[in-house]
Every structure is written in structure tokens, then in C-alpha cells.
Copies of this chain bind each other. A is one copy, B any other.
Amino acid sequence: MSIEAKTIAVIGGTGAEGSGIAQRLAKAGHRIILGSRDPAKAENAARELQHRLGGGQLTGRGNREAAEAAEIVILTVPYAAQQATIEEIRAVLAGKILVDATAPLVPPKVNRVQLPPGGSAVAAVQAMLGDSVRVVSAFQNVSAEKLKRHDAAVECDVLVCADDAAARQSVIGLVADMGLRGIDAGPIANSAAAEALTSLLIWINRKYKVPASGICVTGLPSV
């Protein structure tokens, strides 16, 4: 694969979704810095992923140090930790792309759509950070379990929303590096659809007794 290797921080990278994303990006040749509140935990997780992949450039740091050293920052923390984690890293985000994978799941009814006032948890972050950070919404609908099996195809599109068209394209490129199809899904406000779908897919998983439903956009030219 011929890609332009980037330095990418995965904040919350010791969790299931984050480590799935980190693995696939590392496998594609990107330099990955896992971020965690606990730097030692991030370092251990990076070593473990490197071992699992049999290589790859993966290191671990504290959240802020990880974000500071990266060109692109991917946020994969639970909804309850989203705001606090952003506060932790916001001082080092200026000029960067922040990919936010947050879905506003509200326990205990995580299979019920409960969008925040204003409609989107990720659009709220863009509003909070202002124009100096290009916030991109992605990965809300992709099963962590499927991402982690890094050799397997994932039958789920990644809806990519951002107000900045170039940032959308950059993230669609990263998604392709991971072996998935990214779809240009419009402005950050449209993240509401992807965020709402997360709860709906959890409902479907339980209702149909399947481990990992997903979504695919139909009617597109094959790419």
C-alpha cells in the first residue's frame, strides 16, 4: 500500500473501538500514538497491538502529550467522558483535524436514540472549539469487534461529516487505508444521523440476535 504516513493520536486508544482503529491505521503504515489518562496503560496497549500486528509504529502517552505530537487526533471515548477529554487536549488542537467518534449513548437505554439538545454530540464539539479546529465525525456505526480483526473485511460504511470539505476528504482517505469505505455525508450537523444510528444498530443487534449489524449506503457507483 502506498500512502503518505501520518502521525495520528488515538485518544481512548486503549478501549475497544480505539484499539481497532489504531491497529488498522498502524497496519497501513501510519505512526500511531495511543492516548490514555494513564500513560503506562497506553504504552502497554501500544506494545500489545504491535505484538499482535507483528510490527507497526505504535507508542503510548498521556492524552495531552499524544494529541500534541500528532497531526490528526481521533477521539474514541465514551460519551460521558467526551467533554472532559476535549478540555484536556483542546490547548494542543489548533490547526489540526479532530476526528470525533462519539455517539451520545445514554445508559441504561443505549438502544434508544437520545440525541443531545442541539441534535449532535459532535457538532457540539465543533461549536465549542471554534474554527481553529476542523472537527470530523466518523466511525459511530462500525463495530469495534470487527475493526479488531484487522485482516477481515468490515461490511459497514463509515459516514464522514465535517463542515470542512478537505477535512472530510482526508478522513475518507484514512478510512480507505483501514480497508473500509468512507462516505462523504456532508456538514457536521449531519453527524446527528450517524450518532442516532448507533443506538438503532444496538437495538437491531439485540432484536435480531446478531453481534454486529452495520449500515451500507446503496445506489452509489462501485468504487
Contacts and interface: CB of A to CB of B under 8 A. Distances in A.
Interface of A: 111-115, 117, 119-120, 143, 155-156, 159, 183-187, 189-193, 196-197, 199-201, 203-204, 207-208, 210-221
Given A143-B219, A210-B219, A215-B218, 20 more contacts: A112-B186, A115-B119, A115-B192, A155-B219, A184-B207, A184-B208, A185-B200, A185-B203, A186-B199, A186-B200, A186-B203, A186-B204, A190-B200, A192-B192, A208-B220, A210-B220, A213-B220, A214-B218, A216-B217, A216-B218
B213 A218 contact: yes
B197 A193 contact: yes
10 closest Cβ contacts across the A-B interface? Answer: A193-B196, A186-B203, A213-B219, A214-B218, A155-B218, A193-B200, A216-B216, A113-B192, A113-B190, A192-B196
B187 A112 contact: yes
Nearest to A143: B219
A22 B173 CA distance: 42
A217 B220 contact: no
30 contacts: A112-B186, A112-B190, A113-B119, A113-B189, A113-B190, A113-B193, A114-B119, A114-B189, A115-B115, A119-B119, A155-B218, A156-B218, A156-B219, A159-B200, A184-B203, A192-B192, A193-B196, A193-B199, A193-B200, A197-B197, A201-B217, A204-B217, A210-B219, A213-B217, A213-B218, A213-B220, A215-B216, A215-B217, A215-B218, A216-B216
A187 B110 CA distance: 12
A189 B159 contact: no
Copies of this chain held together in the complex: 2
A109 B107 CA distance: 33
Contacts of A210: 219-221
A77 B201 CA distance: 28
A9 to B, nearest CB: 28
Contacts of A183: 204
A117 to B, nearest CB: 8
Contact of A186 (B207, B216, B220): B207
